[in-house]
Amino acid sequence: MKLAAIKQWAKDTAARTIWAYGPDELITRLGRIGVRPGSTLMVHSSWLAHNGFRGKPADLVRALKKAVGEEGLLVMTSMPYHNMSSSQWLARGKPMNVLRSPSMMGLVSEVFRRSENVRRSLSPTHPLLAWGADAEAFVAGHEATDRPFGAASPFARLLERDALILGFDAPFSSFTYTHFVEDQLEATLPCALYEPVALEGVVIDREGQSLTCPVRVLSPEANRLRRESRLVDHLTRSGVLHTGDIGHTRLSWIRARDHSRESRRFVDGGGHFFDTPQAAVAA
């Protein structure tokens, strides 16, 4: 037997045995980190072949819903594009159809989008999915603000609800809430967070009506100067960004309020997770 085949056999066996865990074990684990009926939980995920979860992505979605309960709220991202910038997506002129555009944010997100009673916000670039008691109110009005991560967006409601933001085999870099934090700290940034001119995006709502929405996109300069690893180090040292494992799945989590508070404290203390243009050139 070739080495590659042996490694594959070993992973397959471990996923079925020592790494194996089911929906109930996951719900118990989430309870230990603060997810209970009535909680608001935002999940970023990657579906990896040997994560140890006994079940399909649909079983994972059902477990996450059960963890927050019908009185809680489960949220995921559902950007309709991948491996391109927001401006490149908008330049294509393709509408974001709230009912039909697939989520390109991973298999679990797409399965969640298709599941029962999920609502989707009408952002041309960063629509959010929500399921729970007040999902409709949570996603409402995203199309009415040109800042997809701004104070009038559903991202601000994550802060109001002190959501727990969870990575399921997904790194901190996938946590889009960080862009809301950047929006709130915009005055401290060494560059413009958004491009100066709003672009136009088109969304098709649940009734099939087409809406043209102005949308601000993150500036290339902000993306160039961002140094997220500094923020990760600060949040970890502050004790608010956590990691752990269940089976062969890596979990990472942080409270929205902790993220906002500690990011502000980092900046107010003289640090920053953006370089100045001069420092970037020198580096």
For 121-173, write each residue's pLDDT tens digit.
Answer: 999 999 999 999 999 999 999 999 999 999 999 999 999 999 999 999 999 99
In a domain, 242, yes or no: yes
* Residue 19 pLDDT exceeds 80: yes
Number of domains composing the chain: 1
Average pLDDT over residues 232-248: 98
* Residue 201 pLDDT exceeds 90: yes
Q: Which residues contact 37 (CB under 8 A, 6 or more apart)?
A: 67, 68, 69, 71, 72
In a domain, 130, yes or no: yes
Average pLDDT over residues 31-48: 97
On whether the CB atoms of residues 71 and 35 are closer than 8 A, the answer is no
On whether the CB atoms of residues 107 and 114 are closer than 8 A, the answer is no
The angle subtended at Cα 66 by Cα 63 and Cα 72, nearest 5°, is 130
* Residue 283 pLDDT exceeds 80: no
pTM of the model: 0.95
On whether the CB atoms of residues 256 and 184 are closer than 8 A, the answer is no
In a domain, 261, yes or no: yes
* Residue 267 pLDDT exceeds 90: yes
In a domain, 2, yes or no: no
Helices vs strands, H then E, count in the chain = 12, 10
Strand partners, 167: 44, 252
Q: What is the pLDDT of residue 282?
A: 59
In a domain, 229, yes or no: yes
Closest CA to 124 of 215, 209, 219, 208: 215
In a domain, 157, yes or no: yes
Strands across the sheet containing 96-97: 96-97, 199-204, 210-215
Average pLDDT over residues 223-230: 97
How much is the mean pLDDT over the chain? Answer: 95
> What domain range includes position 103?
16-282
* Residue 280 pLDDT exceeds 70: no
In a domain, 8, yes or no: no
Where does the pLDDT of residue 281 fall: very low under 50, low under 70, confident under 90, or very high at 90 and above? Answer: low
In a domain, 3, yes or no: no
